[in-house]
Structure 1
Amino acid sequence: MKKITFQYKAFMTGLALLVLAGCNKLVDLKPINEISDADYWKTADQYKLAANEFYTYMITFANVLYDPAPGQPPSPHADIRSDLTASRSPFSNGSNALSVTDANWDNAYTRLRAINYLLAKDSVDIDNPLRPERLLYVAEAKFFRAYIYFDLLQQFGGVPIVTKPLTSGSPELQAPRNSRDEVVDLVIKDLEDAIAVLPLESAITAANKGRISKGAAQAFLGRVALYEGTWQKFRNGDANRYNGLLDKSIAASNAVITSTQYSLFAPAALGDSAQKYMFILEDEKSNPANITKSANKEYILANRYSYTLRQIRNNVTHTLIGGGISKKFADMYLCQDGLPIDKSPLFQGYGMTRSEFQNRDNRMRYTMMIDSNYYWDNENPGSRTNWTGDAADIASSKGRHNAASGTGYQNQKWATERRLNDNEEGYDWPVIRLAEVYLNYAEAVYERNGTISDADLDKSVNLVRNRVNKTMPKLSNSLVSANSLDMRTEIRRERTIELYLEGFRVDDLKRWKTAEIEMPMNVLGVKWSGTRWQTRWVVNGTSPYTVDANGFLIFEGSRTWAQKNYLLPIPTQQRALNPNLDQNPGW
């Protein structure tokens, strides 16, 4: 059989084809791996080929930046479902309804069928002397089973656990849902089994770069344990249970941090623009220093793309550049003295269209667009010529940005500046990156102990905030105390700012149990009354939207969030197929 290398290659067509049989997605007869069992499942390479398909299950641009992307299922982790963007989504304003079917549920069990099939083949051939060579791919399968079940948990809570291929007569098809604890315990066990086998990043050969490493599984365990630990803590769960989970999160994240296998992307040549260009990094020139993907050691696990071999095929740049952002998010950025805008003397107020961007966290000006600044995208003209900001570069720009639309706050994250046609972007999606691990560690330590030392802040949060803010004071206990700040709020602030538009915000609000407070808030825009906007941005002699008592534009009001919205409803078709599936509360 011809060997297929992993890097950027198309996955084997025969293994990628899922044959559906009936409506119940717990039963997919004719699994993908059924080539000829008499001839297959013999060598490590055959297990590797089967495991290759699992990498197509990873989250990517279509799952986070759209809801849904064309031809794709709904996107439960999309940031446009949150309180930080101006999207008017039924999932953000609480108007989503009970669903008959859910493609995410269906796809998850289709994928679990494929994963369980590989694991079953390994389990019946344990005496094979060649087995040690294939255990790496068994470990990958366990990672991806954990990955799928965690995704189901975030959406639906407890779900049916299936750990073997089923037939049409399997009793599991009529089984009730397993509890949250049972699902989480399975996820943790699978990850710990995988961690024991998977190699360090440094031990993965060049031909296999992009495959799951020990660090990726440890980082994901840190994410899972933090999620469920805080979910239980803020719902008055059993303290022994949630503290044990937080301990696991701390240990797993710390193992990644101390492994020294990864580092934040911060090339000196890019200065305080490093984070901006990390997200649009390609091997073609895509930044001022012509740095390529090989310099990025921050992505622990990535969904990998290439302009020449595997383009994203979503119109990422035009979707994201100029996209609406809420005032709430803009206000979260600290001033350069490390203080929030309501406490810092450096804050310049809202009077002018550019004033609130002055003296702020550098991530603000590289994530958001500033009125009257020059910007570039992938168009011709409109793309960059030399990244110097000289006359020729400016002449090739889109011109000065006019922010007088939407909320008045616009996004530039994920938008390329190099010339290419729509849908041809080739930057990678960070499934897991080191900055998240640092933030997971800090939050888990604080939630476990009710406090966090300056030393732990310095090995986590401060590395993230000072990556592009070299002179900003570190987050410390003395800074918090001297300025009447709240440490939990500051740790969450860093997480929200750093991981914006990466698929975390909705799930964070749910696990913190603050969605009921944050989500119903009006989505506000710029301050209109008494500012430059009032004379600049006028529609028929008045403001473009209703103005609140403080003079800010109300882009969207009348939002709601019921307790039932913390979980999605179990699809009614699945409950008809299996009457033992109970519905989530409120649905």
Structure 2
Amino acid sequence: MKLPIKNTLFTALLLTGLAACEVDRLPETNISDETFWKTESDIKTANNYLYTFLPAFNTEDNWSDDAFGLASNNISDGSRLAPATATGDYNTPYNLIRAANNILEKAPRAAGAVTPATLDRYLAEARFFRAWSYFSLVQKYGGVPLILKTLTDTSPELVTPAATRDEVLAQIYQDLDFAAQKLPTPTALGAADYGRISNTAALAFKARVALFEGTRAKFHKYGEPTKHLTLAVAAAKAVIDSKEHDLFSNYFNLFQLAGEGRQNRENIIVRQYGVSNTDRVSTHAYFRSSLETGNMNPTRSLADSYLMKDGLPITKSPLYKAPVKSVDVFANRDTRMSDTFLKAGDPYMTTKPVFDIANLVFNKTGFTFRKYANIDDWNTQASTIDRALLRYAEVLVTYAEAKYELDGAITDADLDLTINRLRARGGVAKLTNALVTANALDMREEIRRERRVELAQEGFRYWDLIRWKTAETELTKPVLGNYFFKSEYVSSTVNLTPDNYILVQAASFRKFDPAKDYLWPFPVNEIALNPELKQNPGW
């Protein structure tokens, strides 16, 4: 059963003040308080609006070295400027924070009509979404204005300095701890409330936040990395020990209708769309509008990161043979590669039912992403496949990475608990300390590799480069595509490297300034509105 958003969304919009504005005012005239906030149904209606802020499908992987669109991306190639006015990157999180703060203030008015546990559950949902928003902001901007109540046009908080990143993170942890304590388990939510935030969702998200900040502090050399990494390990382990989640058996079907609903215990947080075109909250056209049309295509850098079945990279494995035709790229590889990349013989689209080779007019890298590709959805342009936002697989790689970064080593037992479960699903040999030693591998790099391939096309890679402080190295490299198979590709104008790989963007057109690009610029108009808000360094 899907979230009952459709019939309650309009009311929720009125209650939370949909109109966009700056950091942020919530005019009291926009709130219908007198007849609302009386019952559990009222609170749930207001909370349903929070779920509409869960991220829809997008092309954010183009910010990283994993993907490239129809043209260069000004974030990945370092050519962007500070925006004159605030966009959704800045405004949308504050709109959600405002809506959450409104619920936290007004929902207690129904205390006489609901039990304390019921009230706490909805307050916990609101606090989760506030934490979700603040993490989005701190990832991009570092310290930001910390707004914990609804504001009017005369509120002094509108012209106060940004809080430090430590202060923002402390509030995120506080909100997530409350949510983890007060929210139901996935089992308690059951099928009827599938899709609502659970206690394990709060814990899993806390692990994501803490891993990000712990590794960022470690590699950028500031703050208290040990504190955050310890929190990441504890939160991820709590999710593992809960036994509420497990891996779905089929990686490709995770991102199809077959992977939807309560029966898939791997999904922890999803953006829901619907059951079918006649029973839906909304729809998307991600496959046709983003993947098939070339708005986001995988790179050679991503392709080369997939291991051979023996657990070794292509540069070390005796199984690797230079490809002669396009399907050879997938031979003896981690099966997650063929689940993530389209290959000859795969179902494709209504006007071309069977895929053969990427169209270089659109798919500039010569590769095409496959996750969420569905031939029926291409035809209708109205897919109801949910977007997975946080999976149990992420919890496992988070635990492994946090353990390694905290201890400087990881046991084979912890590898079996985490990474080797993912490798088994991909048909890849185990990662062990002996394998690393025998083949002169680097354990940190192998853990990072596992994260990259498991979570490919899911919006993680750019932020991983930021926290590891490797963006200055990886994003300045040329963007390469597939080997140019002359007998298969239909193109005569493509640029090639001397060894015959598609050259999408030369290194001379790419830059990353470590003095400024690890933080995003505040919109210029926000600084004008609040003179106490200072621009990030270098912008």
Settle same-fold status: TM greater than 0.5. Answer: yes
Equivalent position of 1:390 in the other structure: none
Structure 1 Cα separation of the partners of residues 247 and 491 of structure 2: 45
Structure 2 Cα separation of the partners of residues 526 and 47 of structure 1: 52
Equivalent position of 1:577 in the other structure: 529
Equivalent in 320, 338, 341 of residue 291 of structure 2:
320
1:303 aligns with 2:271: yes
Equivalent position of 1:270 in the other structure: none
Equivalent in 115, 118, 142 of residue 157 of structure 1:
142
Is residue 86–residue 523 contact of structure 2 (8 Å, CA) maintained in 1?
A: yes
Is residue 524–residue 553 contact of structure 1 (8 Å, CA) maintained in 2?
A: yes
Equivalent position of 1:275 in the other structure: 251
Letter in 2 for 1:560: K
Structure 2 Cα separation of the partners of residues 96 and 330 of structure 1: 27
Is residue 9–residue 309 contact of structure 1 (8 Å, CA) maintained in 2?
A: no
For 1:229-268, what aligned pairs fall within 5 Å after superposition?
Answer: 229-238=214-223, 241-266=224-249
Equivalent position of 1:554 in the other structure: 503
Q: 1:525 to 1:177 in 2, by over 3 A?
A: same
Q: 1:123 to 1:134 in 2, by over 3 A?
A: closer
Letter in 1 for 2:244: Q
Range 8-17 or range 93-102, more displaced? 8-17
Equivalent position of 2:85 in the other structure: 101
Count of equivalent residues: 525
1:364 aligns with 2:361: no
Equivalent position of 2:426 in the other structure: 468
Mind listing any 5+ residue stretches in structure 1 that lack a counterpart? 66-77, 267-273, 283-290, 383-396
Q: Percent identity?
A: 38
Letter in 2 for 1:263: D
Cα offset, 1:5, TM superposition? 8.5
Letter in 2 for 1:450: G
1:13 aligns with 2:26: no
Q: 1:257 to 1:173 in 2, by over 3 A?
A: same
Range 78-87 or range 434-443, more displaced? 78-87
Q: 1:5 to 1:354 in 2, by over 3 A?
A: closer
For 1:471-518, what per-residue CA distance to the aligned partner results, in whole angstroms no more than 9, with x for missing partners? x32011111111000011011111111111111111111111110000
Equivalent position of 1:433 in the other structure: 391
Is residue 82–residue 519 contact of structure 1 (8 Å, CA) maintained in 2?
A: yes
Is residue 520–residue 559 contact of structure 1 (8 Å, CA) maintained in 2?
A: yes
Q: 1:487 to 1:116 in 2, by over 3 A?
A: same
1:50 aligns with 2:46: yes
Cα offset, 1:152, TM superposition? 0.8
For 1:10-409, what aligned pairs fall within 5 Å after superposition?
Answer: 10-17=7-14, 19=17, 23-30=21-28, 34-35=31-32, 37-61=33-57, 64-65=58-59, 78-87=60-69, 88-104=72-88, 105-122=90-107, 130-238=115-223, 241-266=224-249, 274-281=250-257, 293-306=261-274, 307=276, 308-310=278-280, 312-318=282-288, 319-321=290-292, 323=294, 324-370=297-343, 373-379=344-350, 382=352, 397-398=353-354, 400-401=356-357, 406-409=364-367
Is residue 399–residue 418 contact of structure 2 (8 Å, CA) maintained in 1?
A: yes
Is residue 311–residue 423 contact of structure 1 (8 Å, CA) maintained in 2?
A: no
Equivalent position of 1:269 in the other structure: none
Cα offset, 1:402, TM superposition? 5.3
RMSD: 2.4
Structure 2 Cα separation of the partners of residues 138 and 311 of structure 1: 24
Cα offset, 1:421, TM superposition? 3.5
For 1:357-395, what per-residue CA distance to the aligned partner results, in whole angstroms no more than 9, with x for missing partners? 21111111221123xx2232352x65xxxxxxxxxxxxx
Letter in 2 for 1:278: L
Mind listing any 5+ residue stretches in structure 2 that lack a counterpart? none
For 1:415-434, what aligned pairs fall within 5 Å after superposition?
Answer: 415-418=373-376, 421-434=379-392
Letter in 2 for 1:27: R
Cα offset, 1:538, TM superposition? 7.5
Structure 2 Cα separation of the partners of residues 314 and 137 of structure 1: 28
1:522 aligns with 2:507: no
Structure 1 Cα separation of the partners of residues 77 and 446 of structure 2: 26
Letter in 1 for 2:345: Y
Is residue 40–residue 113 contact of structure 2 (8 Å, CA) maintained in 1?
A: no
Cα offset, 1:539, TM superposition? 5.1
Structure 1 Cα separation of the partners of residues 102 and 469 of structure 2: 37
Cα offset, 1:560, TM superposition? 0.9
Structure 1 Cα separation of the partners of residues 426 and 462 of structure 2: 26
Structure 2 Cα separation of the partners of residues 365 and 84 of structure 1: 16
Equivalent in 529, 544, 549 of residue 494 of structure 2:
544
Structure 2 Cα separation of the partners of residues 181 and 100 of structure 1: 27
Is residue 8–residue 305 contact of structure 1 (8 Å, CA) maintained in 2?
A: no
For 1:269-293, what per-residue CA distance to the aligned partner results, in whole angstroms no more than 9, with x for missing partners? xxxxx211220225xxxxxxxx864
Is residue 19–residue 31 contact of structure 1 (8 Å, CA) maintained in 2?
A: no
Equivalent position of 1:500 in the other structure: 456
Structure 2 Cα separation of the partners of residues 504 and 298 of structure 1: 17
Cα offset, 1:19, TM superposition? 4.2
Is residue 191–residue 262 contact of structure 2 (8 Å, CA) maintained in 1?
A: no
Cα offset, 1:399, TM superposition? 5.5
Equivalent position of 2:465 in the other structure: 509
Structure 2 Cα separation of the partners of residues 203 and 521 of structure 1: 48
For 1:409-441, what per-residue CA distance to the aligned partner results, in whole angstroms no more than 9, with x for missing partners? 222221113366332111111121101111111
Range 316-325 or range 427-436, more displaced? 316-325
Is residue 262–residue 297 contact of structure 1 (8 Å, CA) maintained in 2?
A: yes
Is residue 2–residue 272 contact of structure 2 (8 Å, CA) maintained in 1?
A: no
Equivalent position of 1:446 in the other structure: 404
TM-score, scaled to structure 1: 0.84
Q: 1:527 to 1:301 in 2, by over 3 A?
A: closer
Equivalent position of 1:69 in the other structure: none
Cα offset, 1:321, TM superposition? 3.6
For 1:78-97, what per-residue CA distance to the aligned partner results, in whole angstroms no more than 9, with x for missing partners? 10221111222111111111
Structure 2 Cα separation of the partners of residues 220 and 481 of structure 1: 33
For 1:268-322, what per-residue CA distance to the aligned partner results, in whole angstroms no more than 9, with x for missing partners? xxxxxx211220225xxxxxxxx86453111011111222332653322222147
